[in-house]
Homo-oligomer: A and B are copies of this chain.
Amino acid sequence: MTTLNADNTDDNCPAQALLKTLSGKWKPQLFKLATIAPLRFNNLLRQLDGSNKQSLSAALKELAEAGILCKHTLQTKPLHIEYSLTEKGKLMIPIFQELEGLI
């Protein structure tokens, strides 16, 4: 009926791993905001009500490690750091949209 990999001995399943990296207090928001514009740290801290440095920092790092976001430094006047969607991250947009259509 389906060809879904059901080898469930923990995380040898990619969808499961991806689901894990996307779950957590601020991660879905961060992903969604990144689909609109690159993210900047203090900016997010103001936008996301109730957020905090520690958690945002961790979430950004994990999304970057998962290859969804990519961190890069802009050689501007006061030196800015941006987090933007990788190609993989961009490929996730339509999948998210399908999920939204599912409700």
Q: Chain A contact residues: over half helix, strand or loop, or mixed?
A: helix
Contact present for B91 and A4 (CB under 8 Å): no
State A2–B93 Cα separation when bound (angstroms). Answer: 8
Contact present for B88 and A95 (CB under 8 Å): no
State A8–B78 Cα separation when bound (angstroms). Answer: 28
Scoring A residues 70 to 89 as 1 if CB is less than 8 Å from chain B, else 0, what string do you get? 00000000000000000010
Question: Cβ of A16: which chain B residues have Cβ within 8 Å of it?
Answer: 28-29, 32
Question: Cβ of A18: which chain B residues have Cβ within 8 Å of it?
Answer: 99, 102-103
Scoring A residues 1 to 36 as 1 if CB is less than 8 Å from chain B, else 0, what string do you get? 111111011000111111110111000110011011
Q: A48 at the A/B interface (Cβ < 8 Å)?
A: yes
